[in-house]
Amino acid sequence: MNTKQRIALVTGGNRGLGAAIARALHDAGHQVSITHTPGNTTVGQWQQEQTAQGYTFTAYGVDVSDYESTQQLARRIHDDGHQVDILVNNAGITRDVTLRKMDKIAWDAVLRTNLDSMFNITKPFIESMTERGWGRIVNISSINGSKGQFGQTNYSAAKAGVHGFTKALAQEVARKGVTVNTVSPGYLATEMVMAVREDVRQKIIDGIPVGRLGQPSEIAALVAFIVSDAAAFMTGSNVAMNGGQHMY
């Protein structure tokens, strides 16, 4: 799908969907870096495991919710002699509780990590993409950004905002060879979902028309296409992959 190797950065790329996306981009022939939470002591072991499987990733610790931390990330990547051609804004958190019981800390944490990060991470790299006349940005939203979810006013608001960010930025850079798209996954067989009680997990599955959870590798394959040269005419889109659970 691609005519040349690009340099990709995947935020939150050391676990779950982020790790699947990092591997898919590596399989597509790209040079891939990932970010992780600062102080994460398991990343080194994760990198070793990936290397044993044929995947080589550069890892950077960064707080995506903090603007200065992301500026430092951009400087480190530049000092390492790299540019960012492909950016996947994947990092995110949940702090689920009904609005009546939600405190400001839970609201701010989710909005800053899931929405402010769009600005914090994208800002340092967008100018160089437009100058080179080629770039791909994929922002990971969620099924709950369009349909909502009980106990997730913070998360649903942030993920809805992600696509608003996508649509506006896509218009700003379309003539510069840079595409910006959103991917909205449904419920996936990640560690977080698989850790919930079996009866709760089965209730989730019962609500999915295809009758199963999605695989992170399926979403990752979609992302790999969106960042390819074959998808150059696609920008400002929100692509849902949720097993038919929410159709719009």
Catalytic residues: 155
Does residue 212 contact residue 243 with C-beta atoms inside 8 Å? Answer: yes
Q: Where do runs of H (alpha helix) occur along the chain?
A: 16-27, 43-52, 67-79, 104-111, 117-132, 144-147, 153-173, 191-194, 198-206, 216-226
d(CA 36, CA 131): 28
d(CA 166, CA 14): 24
Does residue 91 contact residue 11 with C-beta atoms inside 8 Å? Answer: yes
Rounded to whole angstroms, what are the CA distances from 182 to 53, 54, 118, 205? 29, 29, 12, 24
Strand partners, 50: none
CA nearest to 141, candidates 166, 123, 105, 106: 166
